[in-house]
């Protein structure tokens, strides 16, 4: 038997509870169906039920036919980077970038992991609730000393607390629109956060995975449009174009020292993003007409689902729910239904278990950090309106019983 010990950081990585929830549902679904005749309702997933738009699929096929099957250029193909520069301008109103400001990555996930890796072992700060992958994967992988600053119950910002916590921090992680709350941070909020980071000499790692999924004609405000060089913005094609399995993303910063380092980080990990897929990504970003059409089509459907879901939840007495302005999640608070005498561990899964018993899958709030443990995340990214309505019916029955 070898006496070697394995990497402590790798050992500390945990599988997101969302994955085990999905496995639990898979096991239970058949049993539930045969007992009740009803389908399990899958509100736990971050997958998308739209297909990738055909014009992007066609571009990938063309790139293959043209023989773009060799090793990619380090840090990203010119065609992809030029399309990113164009998209940053028309969509994010972010100007002044050239190819050396960009690193193309395997999804938003790699862009974020590389950004966290830059500050290995240092203090990082982020709002709670926080996307579970940050907490379970990036933080342990990069040995980040991560401090959570809770949002207020209505998801507004406690600037004093943020200011205090940023003391000595190397970076702040911001996700807008936010998973799991659906909060779209305003231009004023984003600017105030970026300036607080500047004050403390911290970088701002901005996760803009849901940038295109915004409702009621609101606009996502990208920190990249600010002319500060302490900002690293990470993007992905996964959500905007229903391309979760393609693994295409990129990071952008005005600080070229960062891209120089992260280009090597990216090369070390994967030697770059699959060449012909970069050509498809270039088409997705540069074909503005087709792209905007596909996004509008998807957002219109998500907005309808959001409206039905939100309206339904507000009709359940005792439910506290904030209307999401973006993303495809709702994050209601169930405090008034949870018995006061439960210990913390039981409290964390109380609502989740009640829902699960009635065939409704969700994600419990503690997956998103130390606060908001009385909340539960529902995703409407794979559930048509009829399923949302069925889920609401089941919830009404459960919570009427508890009221």
Ligand X SMILES: Cc1ncc(COP(=O)(O)O)c(C=O)c1O
The residue within the footprint of ligand X, chosen from 16, 145, 191, 244 (CB under 6 A), is: 244
Query: At closest approach, how far in Å is the CB of 249 from ligand X?
Result: 5
**Closer residue to ligand X, CB minimum distance, 176 or 275:** 176
Residue of 53, 107, 312, 332 that binds ligand X (CB under 6 A) = 107
Min dist. Cβ of residue 232 to ligand X (A): 13
How is residue 255 written in tokens? Answer: 């600080």
Q: Restricting to residues 157-186, which ones interact with ligand X according to CB under 6 A?
A: 175, 179
Fill in the per-residue mask, 185 to 224: x = in contact with ligand X (CB under 6 A), - = not in contact.
----------------------x-x---------------
Token pair recorded at residue 221: 């405000």
Contacts (CB under 6 A) with ligand X, residues 38-67? 46
- We find the least distance from the C-beta atom of residue 326 to ligand X, in angstroms, to be 11
**109 scored as a contact of ligand X (CB under 6 A):** yes
Exactly one of 249, 272, 324, 326 binds ligand X (CB under 6 A); that residue is 249
Q: What is the distance between the alpha carbons of residues 79 and 54, in angstroms, rounded to a whole number?
A: 20
Residue 316 beta carbon to ligand X: minimum distance, rounded to whole angstroms: 26
| Nearest to ligand X of 46, 359 (CB atom) | 46
- CB 75, CB 104: distance < 8 Å: yes
Closest CB to ligand X among residues 239, 279? 239
What residues does 232 pair with on adjacent strands?
205, 253
- Please give the DSSP secondary-structure letter assigned to residue 39: P
Site string for ligand X, 281-310 (x = CB under 6 A): ------------------------------
**Distance from first CA to last CA of the chain, Å, rounded?**
58
DSSP string for residues in 39-62: PPEE-S-----SPPPHHHHHHHHH
User: Given the rule CB under 6 A, which of 73-81, 107-115, 121-129, 225-233 is the region that contacts ligand X?
Assistant: 107-115
Cβ neighbourhood burial of 289 (10 Å; 0-12, 13-18, 19+): exposed
Q: Is the dihedral of CA 160, 137, 26, 247 positive or negative?
A: positive
- Which residues, 6 or more positions from 317, have their beta carbon under 8 angstroms from its beta carbon? 399, 403
- For the chain, helix, strand, coil in percent to 5 are 50, 15, 40
Instruction: Please give the residue ranges that form the binding site for ligand X (CB under 6 A).
Output: 46, 107-109, 131, 175, 179, 207, 209, 236, 238, 244, 249
């Amino acid at each position: 038997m070898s006496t070697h010990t394995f990497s402590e950081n790798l050992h500390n990585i945990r599988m997101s509870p969302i994955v085990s929830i999905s496995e639990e549902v898979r096991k239970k679904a058949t049993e539930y169906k045969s007992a009740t005749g009803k389908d399990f309702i899958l509100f736990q997933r971050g997958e998308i039920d739209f297909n990738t738009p055909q014009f992007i699929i066609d571009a990938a096929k063309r790139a293959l036919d043209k023989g773009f099957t060799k090793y990619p250029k380090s840090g990203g193909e010119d065609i992809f980077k030029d399309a990113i520069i164009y998209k940053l301008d028309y969509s994010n109103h972010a100007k002044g970038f050239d190819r050396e400001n960009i690193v193309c990555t395997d999804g938003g996930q790699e862009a974020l992991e590389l950004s966290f890796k830059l500050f290995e072992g240092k203090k990082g700060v982020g709002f709670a609730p926080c996307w579970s992958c940050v907490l379970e994967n990036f933080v342990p992988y990069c040995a980040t000393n991560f401090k959570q600053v809770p949002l207020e119950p209505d998801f507004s910002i406690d600037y004093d607390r943020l200011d205090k916590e940023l003391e000595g921090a190397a970076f702040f992680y911001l996700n807008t629109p936010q998973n799991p709350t659906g909060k779209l941070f305003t231009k004023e909020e984003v600017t105030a956060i970026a300036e607080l980071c500047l004050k403390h000499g911290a970088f701002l790692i901005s996760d803009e995975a849901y940038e295109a999924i915004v409702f009621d004609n609101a606009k996502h405000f990208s920190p990249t449009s600010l002319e500060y060089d302490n900002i690293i913005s990470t993007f992905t094609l996964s959500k905007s174009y229903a391309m979760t399995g393609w693994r295409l993303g990129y990071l952008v910063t005005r600080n070229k020292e960062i891209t120089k380092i992260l280009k090597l980080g990216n090369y070390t990990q994967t030697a770059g993003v699959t060449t012909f897929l970069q050509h498809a990504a270039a088409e997705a970003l540069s074909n503005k007409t087709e792209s905007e059409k596909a996004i509008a089509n998807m957002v219109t459907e998500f907005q309808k689902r959001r409206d039905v879901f939100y309206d339904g939840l507000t009709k359940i007495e005792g439910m506290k729910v904030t209307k999401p302005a973006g993303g495809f999640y709702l994050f209601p608070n169930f405090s008034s239904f949870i018995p006061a005498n439960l210990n913390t561990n039981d409290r964390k899964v109380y609502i989740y278990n009640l829902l699960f018993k009635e065939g409704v899958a969700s994600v419990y709030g503690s997956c998103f950090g130390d606060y908001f443990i009385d909340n539960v995340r529902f995703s409407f990214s794979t559930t048509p309106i009829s399923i949302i309505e069925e889920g609401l019916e089941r919830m009404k029955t459960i919570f009427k019983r508890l009221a």
